[in-house]
Chains A and B, each alone.
Chain A
C-alpha cells in the first residue's frame, strides 16, 4: 500500500510575546488557526479533524485543555485529538496530523500547538511544583559542558549562535525577541544562568501558537493550481529512548540519529549537508545548534561547531539554520516544535518573506523533548515526491 501524499497548504502563527494579555487561551489558539485557515483559503467547516499539542497541562493549570478548546477550533462534531510527547510535541502534533491523511482516514486536518506560559510559571511546572527547580537550562547545562569539552569548541560558538538567531528574528515579525542591538559582547556579559549558559544563550518564555492545515494530494495539487505553492511532506519520523541508563549518550542521542536517518531515507536524502537547503532545529540553548548538527549527521562528530564558526549556518550561509529566529527567539514551549515544522514548510513554499532563504527546495525540521530523548522530525519539499 502506498501512502497518500500529504501537503501543507495553510500556515499560521501568533505574534509571540512574553504575555499576550490581549487574548484568552482560546483567542491565542484561534489567532494561529484562523491565519492557517485563511492561508489555505478554508473555513472551519472545511476541516475534517483537529490535532492539538501542548506541553504539560500544569503550565496553564488546565487539565486536558483540548476539551475546552474543542469548539474554539471548530471541533464540534469532529475528531479532536491531543498529543503530548514532551518538548517534541509541536513536531509530533504535525506528524500525527499528517498520518491522519497519509493513512487516508481524513483529507483535511488542522494541527495546532500552543502554550500560554504567562498564565503560570514553567520553572514551577518543570520542578513539579517544588522549590529549587533546575528548569530546562539546569537539566541541559551539564550536557552542553560535556559537548564543549569533548569537541574542543571555543566558548564563542554559543555566543555566536545566540546572536545569529536573534538577528534572524529581526526578519520575522512573529518572533518574540526583537533584540536590535544584540552582539557577542552582550551575550558574553549577560548573567550566567545555568553555568556554562548565559542568560542570552537561553530561550525566552513566550505565549504563542502555531497552526498548519494539511491536505491530501488532491488538496495540494489544487493549491498549486491556484498559485499557492504547497509544501509536500517528504518524510516524517518519531523516535524515543529511555531517560536514564548506563551506556546512554545524552550528548548525541541514538534516538536523534535514528529519527534523522528514518526521515532521510523516506526523503531520498543520502547527504543531508548537501541535499537539505535549510533546517529549523530545536535550539532552546545556543549550544544545541552544533550539537544537533552532529546529532543528526549533518556535520561529522566534533565538527558541528566548525560549521557555526565558519558562518555556514548563518542566514546567508550555505546551510542556514533557524532563519525564523528559532526557539532562542520565541518559546511557547508546546508550540516551539510546531514553529520549526511550519517554518520549514514556509521556506519551501517560498513564503517566508524577509526570512526567506533563497532557493529553498528541501527543508528539515526537528523538535526534541524531555531528557533529549524524544525526537520528531520531518522533511518537506517544494516538489511533489
Chain B
C-alpha cells in the first residue's frame, strides 16, 4: 500500500482553529565534529536565525524551553549560561529539560495550549565532541546491573541489529543500503557532517565490521550542534509564514529500560506515540532519529510507514548526530518539508535512551491550496 492510498480519498484539509499550533521557522547549525563556539553562542545564533526568518524579536517570545545534558556538555548546571542566549532580562518565562530539544518542544507545545501565550521557542544543543560517548553513555544505564559493564551505545546497537537480522526483519545489505542512501542525501545538505563518504553498497559491505554485525557506515558520527524552532499558536502562525507546519499530533512514550528485557526488534513506544500522534496515513516524508541503520528499519516497521514514504531526506542522524539537538533537528527537517518544500503531511521522530527506549513522534501538516493541491513541490531535501 502506498502513502497516498493509505491516506484514503476522503481526507480533507482541516480547518485551522485558534488553538492549533504550528512550527513557523527552524534553524540549525551545521553538525560538525568539533564546534569551537560555546553552547551559549551556538544557541544565540540559531535563535537569531529562526526568529529572523519570520521577523520576530526575542521580546515577542512568551515562553522558551531548552534541552541539553550536563554529562554531554561536560559541566554541572551547564544549561545555566545557555539562558543568556535568550536575553533573559527583564526576566523571562522559560524552562529546561535534561532531554533532547524535541522534548523541549513538547513542553513548549503544552505551554502554548493554554492559550495565554502565542509564541514559543524550543531549542536543543550539545557538544558530544568534548567527551568520549563510549565511556560516557554507560552512565545512562541501570546503575547497578548495566553501567558497571561499560556497555557502550555502539555495542548495544550491534546486539540489537543482530537480533533484527537473525529474526529475518532485515539484512546486512539493507542496512548498507540505508547507509548509502543517507550519505547520498547528506551530500546535498550542508547541515550534515558526513558528506562525500562512500555510497556504493557493495563497497560498504566489503568493509570490515566495527562491531559485528555493524560496520562504520552503520554508525553515526560524533557531532556538535544546536537547533531552534519557533512555535506559534492560532492565526498568528499564518500571518508570520506562508505555509505553517501545523502540529496535528505530538506524543512521546517510554518503555522498559533494560534492553535485555525488551523485544529489541520492535519499538512499542514508537508505535504508541505514532498512533497517538494521529497515525501515519498520508505521511509523505518521515524524519526518523535512527543513529544506527538497523534502528531505521525498526522505527519504520513500528510506525507502519508505507514503502513510498521518503525516509530521512536530510541525511538523518547517521550523517549528523548533535546529541540533545538531533531529535529536534529531525522535527525541524520534517517541518521544513512543509514550510519550504510544500509537502502536505510529514513526520518527525526523536529517540532517547538505550536502544530506542523513549520515543517522540510529531506529525505535521501544511494547508493545501484552493484546488486541494499542495502549494508547491520541492526537492526531497
Interface residues of chain A, those whose CB is within 8 Å of chain B, are 1, 3, 24-25, 56-58, 60-71, 75-86, 92, 96, 99-100, 102-105, 125-126, 128-129, 237-243, 245, 248, 253-255, 258-259, 370-371, 373
Contacts and interface: CB of A to CB of B under 8 A. Distances in A.
B95 A100 contact: no
Given A61-B143, A63-B136, A84-B79, A77 B97 contact: no
A79 B10 CA distance: 32
Given A128-B75, A254-B90, A84 B272 contact: no
Residue of B80, B88, B111, B354 with most chain A CB atoms under a 10 A cut-off? B80
Contacts, number: 171
6 contacts: A3-B114, A64-B71, A68-B143, A86-B80, A240-B83, A241-B83
Given A57-B70, A241-B91, A70 B142 contact: no
Interface in B346-360: 352-354, 357-358
A241 B80 CA distance: 10
B353 A67 contact: yes
A255 B93 CA distance: 9
A254 B79 CA distance: 20
B76 interface: yes
A119 to B, nearest CB: 9
A88 to B, nearest CB: 10
Contacts of B357: 67, 70
Contact of A68 (B18, B81, B253, B257): B257
Given A82-B97, A245-B89, A254-B91, A105 B113 contact: yes
A243 B80 contact: yes
Interface in B53-92: 69-71, 75-77, 79-81, 83-84, 88-92
Given A99-B111, A238-B94, A240-B92, A63 B142 contact: no
Contacts of B255: 70-71, 76-77
A63 B139 contact: yes
B114 A99 contact: yes
Contact of B95 (A71, A85, A129, A253): A85
Nearest to B84: A242
A105 to B, nearest CB: 6
Contacts of B71: 57-58, 63-64
Interface residues of B, number: 57
Q: Which 4 A-B pairs have the closest CB atoms?
A: A255-B91, A1-B115, A103-B113, A63-B139
B280 interface: no
B115 A84 contact: no
A25 B352 contact: no
B91 A240 contact: yes
B119 to A, nearest CB: 16
Contact of B80 (A105, A125, A370): A370
A60 B114 CA distance: 35
A25 B255 CA distance: 18
Contacts of B88: 240-242
Nearest to A86: B77
A102 B115 CA distance: 11
Interface string B94-133: 1111110001001100110111000000000000000000
A43 to B, nearest CB: 18
Contacts of B91: 239-241, 253-255, 258-259
Given A70-B358, A77-B272, A79-B253, 15 more contacts: A61-B143, A64-B71, A64-B98, A64-B352, A65-B143, A67-B352, A68-B257, A77-B254, A77-B255, A81-B252, A240-B88, A242-B84, A243-B80, A243-B84, A254-B91
